[in-house]
Amino acid sequence: MLKIIILFTVFTMATLTASNADDLKNACHENNATACYLYGLPLVTGDNEKIQDIREEGLSYMRKACLLDETRGCDIMGKNYYKNENYRIAREYLEKSCARSVKFACEIMGTIYRDGHAVRPDDVKSREYYEQACDLKSGDACFNVAIIYRGGFGVVKSREKEKAFYKKGCDEGLKAGCDRFVELDNEDKGIETGIWATVKGWFK
């Protein structure tokens, strides 16, 4: 009996899900921007993202959502163009997304200017975008800013700022940021770390 109830529940949920999808699709055809986004989203995420035909269909709905001023659709389009290495068009979307404080967009923009993807490499712009992503709680972006201050890329080298950004990365859960912060902090306190500290410990 329990098995029958479970099967009925699963069947009902699947039917409702299919019905909801049809409703969203129909609403999208009536130029409902949010419906276009919601219908396309599961087609461009998870396992569906790996299936070209499904993904392309999903992106067509994201494109329509974006054209109808659903900004989340524009965010997805920018990310997709970046993945496909169409950096010039990706940048057109991602600049606007980052301006709206979309974290991944700011991260990608930092990388575009750092690595010179379809633009002249620009350490200053790269840092500015990474700092914005860091402020949006991206541990990786904070770490990248620390590296910029460590190497003096477009800035004056600053151990203090390098350390501060490692700490921010650590606070966002990035282990590499924690490790580097602790290493620098120990050095500042005169505590030896690394291989030589380990070797000396063997003879104590």
Tell me, what amino acid is at 116? G
pLDDT in tens, 50-62: 899 999 999 999 9
- Which tokens is 50 given? 């790996």
Percentage of residues in the chain with pLDDT exceeding 90? 76
At which residue do the structure tokens 């282990």 appear?
Answer: 175
Burial call 72-83: b when 16+ CB within 10 Å, e when fewer = bbbbbbbbbbbe
pLDDT of 102 strictly over 90: yes
Q: What SS3 state is found at 57?
A: helix
pLDDT interval class at 14 (50, 70, 90): very low
Please state, in angstroms and as integers, the Cα–Cα distance from residue 79 to each residue in 38, 72, 93, 94, 155, following that order: 17, 11, 8, 7, 28
pLDDT in tens, 70-82: 999 999 999 999 9
At which residue do the structure tokens 């479970």 appear?
Answer: 6
pLDDT of 145 strictly over 50: yes
Tell me, what amino acid is at 18? A
pLDDT in tens, 122-137: 999 999 999 999 999 9
CB-neighbour burial class of residue 1 (10 A; exposed 0-12, middle 13-18, buried 19+): exposed
Q: Cα–Cα distance between 78 and 109 in angstroms, integer?
A: 10
pTM for the full model? 0.81
- Which tokens is 145 given? 């800013």
Degrees, nearest 5: CA angle 125-131-132: 95
